Structure 1
Amino acid sequence: MNTRQWLEKLVAFDTTSRNSNLELITTVRDSLQAQGITPWFAHNKERTKANLFATLPATQGPEAGNTQGGIVLSGHTDVVPVDGQNWDSDPFKLTERDGLLYGRGSCDMKGYIAASLALVPEFLAMPRTKPLHLAFSYDEEIGCAGAPSMLAELQERGIHPEGCVVGEPTNMQVVVAHKGINVYSCSVHGKSAHSSLTPQGCNAIEYAARLICTIRDFADAYKANGPYDTMYDVPFSTMTTNQIRGGIAINTIPNLCEFTYEFRNLPGMSPEKIQEQITHYVRDHLLPKMQAEYPEAKIDIGVIAASPALETAEQEAITALVRALTQDNEKRKVAYATEAGLFQRIGIPTIVCGPGDIIQAHKPNEFVAIAQLERCEEFLRKLGRSMQLA
């Protein structure tokens, strides 16, 4: 299948993060197996989702058959929901209009996966001195939660790639750095009472509101005082509360309020130290006030997802290679997070470069330009050829 055909097939799978991706991932596995490649899966605990990793061994020279070293082509298979969005066409049916291919995930980031899979026959025919690896993950859209199990198994198997290209949409431009993302859940437990008997209760919503406002205060401080990196469109670390739920009736003091918050830290900033600000406020200020009203009050904070920031040095071989193949020497940093930081954390230097524009991601009528996919194909061909003997 060519890239267009692969993309049509991939978009047709509704791999919204709340769903399983197994149908898509087994389809990819079966295609690779039919070409003589043996992928392996790294499942989630429930075995309802899986990452896929596959290696195309070196084919040339004394390293023929070798699976060590080489470069990883990495992409995520999950997509964000279409709920409440007004699409002009079926989001799970690839539709072409004016040189653009519409469909959920066409840009973010099934286009890159489609191009990688379409070129597998060419890769296999190339006389490469190093292997190429394919790494397709789940649950990237909910905080890069799926890839860690794959990377842990990669280490257990003793596979040590030399570099990685994560194909998030960058208009095929080179991105060398991005922020980290850290997502937390918070449950504030108070005591119910009739609202006419306020002193007999402990209002979970009101105490949650105090914590939420404090998180906003921390965010305002980072905006006002830095640290800053002006290469980012948002040049400081950010903190936001994005979901909240609590209360059962207008005349009942709520005993529970739950919310989620996140922060996106610049490279070099410690996520642990940022979170410690919140932990300190809860432990030393907020919780004592709650327990003065209700001794059994508590606040539980849990980690939903955490993915490290990325900052890849210009001296890394993968940086030089991707710059040479794209003829792009501009240094770019982005505020959104990817799985690239996870690869870097285990010692695999990583660059972000893929087809499409991040502006299209997560929106109704998401699309990728056919011209972008063609540029991606040419880049991947050059990448394969760069592994040939001189």
Structure 2
Amino acid sequence: MSTAIRRDVEGDARSWIAAFRTEIRDSLADAIALPSLPCSIEQNDVQDIVQQIADTGDGIVVDRWTPDWEAVEALRAPVDDQLLWVPLVERDPRYAEVLPELACVAFTHGRPSGPSLVLNGHVDVVPADGQAWTTRPFEASVRDGWMYGRGAMDMKAGLIAAAFAFRYIATHWDGPGSVRLCSVVEEESGGNGTLACMHRGHVGDSVVFAEPTDLRVVHRHVGIQSFQVQLGGRAGGMLRRSWGTSVFPSMGRVLTALAELELERTARAHALGGYDADDLPGFVNVGFASGGEWLATRAEHATLRGLMGILPGETQEEATREITERVRAAVGDADDISVEVVIPPGGHRGGEIGADSELVRAFRWSAESGAVGGPSRAGTMVCDAKIVHGGGWAPAIVLGPHGEGLHSADERVELASVEECAVQLIAGSLAWLDQARLSN
């Protein structure tokens, strides 16, 4: 696609998106108002909003289905044949009732022959409980060009932008090739919705995730692995050393060791370049700790649960071996203390494609030529791209709007960047299709 044609596409798309400004903002506000938490049927209500936007052109094929979750659970990654399913019923028994009702939706426009591009977004959001919001988290509010609300940044704005981008392409472009929009459930719980799309065959030759990236093309994806550390001591009264051995001194050493490991792994990643100074790709995050039963009794047991990043080029086995060795070294030969590191199933590898790849070039050119945005970056991104790209199905990048307050109080998205995101998804998609057609 020539520079002149590319500019014409961006100009037309920008004018078209501007004409839908009110509908875009109203759709986003309606989506934010729905508490589409993991393990909630409200996720389907957001799917309804996406379908109202995307299912508007002649010839669009709509596939809305309730996944066969048992079959999805058995799906193996092409790259290494590992299982990627994240257990849910074991985490929350309510999933046994909710999962059979949850729907994924895929919208397809184009011809079966030729290159195939997929746009992907998720409908679920993290909880807002216990956070100091100055607005109502599930009631959209607008201040100074920003829309506030849970899910505004992650990632209902990107999903709405992708839906309008698909709508434009479906009404302005006619192959060869195809564009598909996959709107998925249960990303925040681990990515099983995107895994369901892979099982259904909604794969594509390349995939773009509309997660928030400040309109920069992110082409490095950090994988993720949960872990548990279980410590065992000896319960007893606190007045005699011989009566009991508390696990908490060992827990303190383990926490310190994990914090040090996080810094070491992050420094190792930064040495390769491509990260912003604030990026923490080697994260080792403890999100839950419990132990002890009575204040006057030495604690006999403790459990730590957390998530760690899997660096691009690293396997889960390599990463979990490192954390296991570090935990065992922290506990050492302490008397009466046992330690076990448990690695649950459902981990995902990271991955990276080069900045000069066809996919990155198509969307980077668009982002750099627009009024908003910046160059590509390797970056730190943990999203379902790790499943698609890290799992070996297709190369993937991430490109989404500008937001602040991810997973925190007063989460918000810059409204102008939502429109610009839709423009860049349109221009990038058409540029990639043109490049892929010529390459073939």
TM-score for both structures, normalised by structure 1? 0.82
- 1:308-387 counterparts in 2 under 5 A? 308-327=349-368, 330-344=375-389, 345-357=391-403, 359-383=404-428, 385-386=430-431, 387=433
Q: Which residue of 1 aligns with 2:14?
A: none
Matches of 1:281 and 1:320 in 2, distance apart?
Answer: 40
Residue 71 of structure 1: how far off its partner (Å): 1.1
Residue 98 (structure 2) pairs with residue 48 (structure 1): yes
Residue 210 (structure 2) pairs with residue 185 (structure 1): no
- Deviations 1:157-204 (CA, angstroms, capped at 9, x unpaired): 4x5411111111122121121433322122323332222344343423
Aligned AA (2:122) = H
Q: Which residue of 2 aligns with 1:39?
A: 64
SS in 2 for 1:241: strand
Q: Which residue of 1 aligns with 2:195?
A: 149
Matches of 2:33 and 2:142 in 1, distance apart?
Answer: 14
Among all aligned residue pairs of Structure 1 and Structure 2, give the percentage whose two residues are the same amino acid: 20
Residue 122 (structure 2) pairs with residue 57 (structure 1): no
Aligned AA (2:184) = S
CA shift in 2, pair 1:90/1:151, >3 Å: same
Q: Which residue of 1 aligns with 2:29?
A: 8
CA shift in 2, pair 1:139/1:22, >3 Å: closer
CA shift in 2, pair 1:176/1:285, >3 Å: closer
Q: Which residue of 1 aligns with 2:123?
A: 77
CA shift in 2, pair 1:214/1:48, >3 Å: same
Residue 157 (structure 2) pairs with residue 111 (structure 1): yes
- The correspondence for 1:87, drawn from 133, 136, 140, is 133
Residue 104 of structure 1: how far off its partner (Å): 1.2
Contact 1:55–1:67 (Cα < 8 Å) also in 2: no
After TM superposition, the structure 1 stretch with the greater mean CA deviation from structure 2, 211-220 or 242-251, is 211-220
Matches of 1:224 and 1:55 in 2, distance apart?
Answer: 41
Aligned AA (1:134) = L
SS in 1 for 2:63: coil
Residue 355 of structure 1: how far off its partner (Å): 1.0
CA shift in 2, pair 1:285/1:374, >3 Å: closer
Residue 29 of structure 1: how far off its partner (Å): 7.4
- Deviations 1:209-248 (CA, angstroms, capped at 9, x unpaired): 3333333343454467777223212477343434312122
- Deviations 1:117-150 (CA, angstroms, capped at 9, x unpaired): 34544333232322222223344335x3434632
After TM superposition, the structure 1 stretch with the greater mean CA deviation from structure 2, 363-372 or 12-21, is 12-21
CA shift in 2, pair 1:69/1:99, >3 Å: same
Q: Which residue of 2 aligns with 1:128?
A: 175
Contact 2:250–2:330 (Cα < 8 Å) also in 1: no
Residue 272 (structure 2) pairs with residue 229 (structure 1): yes
Residue 298 (structure 2) pairs with residue 273 (structure 1): no
CA shift in 2, pair 1:355/1:67, >3 Å: farther
SS in 2 for 1:195: coil
Q: Which residue of 2 aligns with 1:98?
A: 144
Aligned AA (2:138) = F
CA shift in 2, pair 1:67/1:167, >3 Å: farther
CA shift in 2, pair 1:346/1:148, >3 Å: farther
Residue 109 of structure 1: how far off its partner (Å): 0.9
Q: Which residue of 1 aligns with 2:239?
A: 196
TM-score for both structures, normalised by structure 2? 0.73
Q: Which residue of 2 aligns with 1:61?
A: none
Matches of 2:245 and 2:416 in 1, distance apart?
Answer: 59
Aligned AA (1:203) = S
Contact 2:292–2:299 (Cα < 8 Å) also in 1: yes
SS in 1 for 2:408: coil
CA shift in 2, pair 1:365/1:224, >3 Å: closer
Matches of 2:331 and 2:358 in 1, distance apart?
Answer: 49
Matches of 1:20 and 1:186 in 2, distance apart?
Answer: 33
Matches of 1:67 and 1:94 in 2, distance apart?
Answer: 42
Matches of 2:268 and 2:177 in 1, distance apart?
Answer: 47
Contact 2:225–2:309 (Cα < 8 Å) also in 1: yes
Residue 103 of structure 1: how far off its partner (Å): 1.4
Contact 2:165–2:423 (Cα < 8 Å) also in 1: no
SS in 1 for 2:188: helix
The alignment covers a number of residue pairs equal to: 375
Q: Which residue of 1 aligns with 2:300?
A: 255
After TM superposition, the structure 1 stretch with the greater mean CA deviation from structure 2, 298-307 or 1-10, is 298-307
Residue 252 of structure 1: how far off its partner (Å): 0.7
SS in 1 for 2:129: coil
Structure 2: any 5+ residue segments left out of the alignment? 1-19, 70-87, 90-95
Aligned AA (1:332) = R
SS in 2 for 1:243: strand
Residue 276 of structure 1: how far off its partner (Å): 0.9
CA shift in 2, pair 1:7/1:375, >3 Å: same
Matches of 2:119 and 2:219 in 1, distance apart?
Answer: 16
Matches of 2:395 and 2:330 in 1, distance apart?
Answer: 42
Aligned AA (1:215) = L
- Deviations 1:265-302 (CA, angstroms, capped at 9, x unpaired): 43223442232133345668848755xx37xx563523
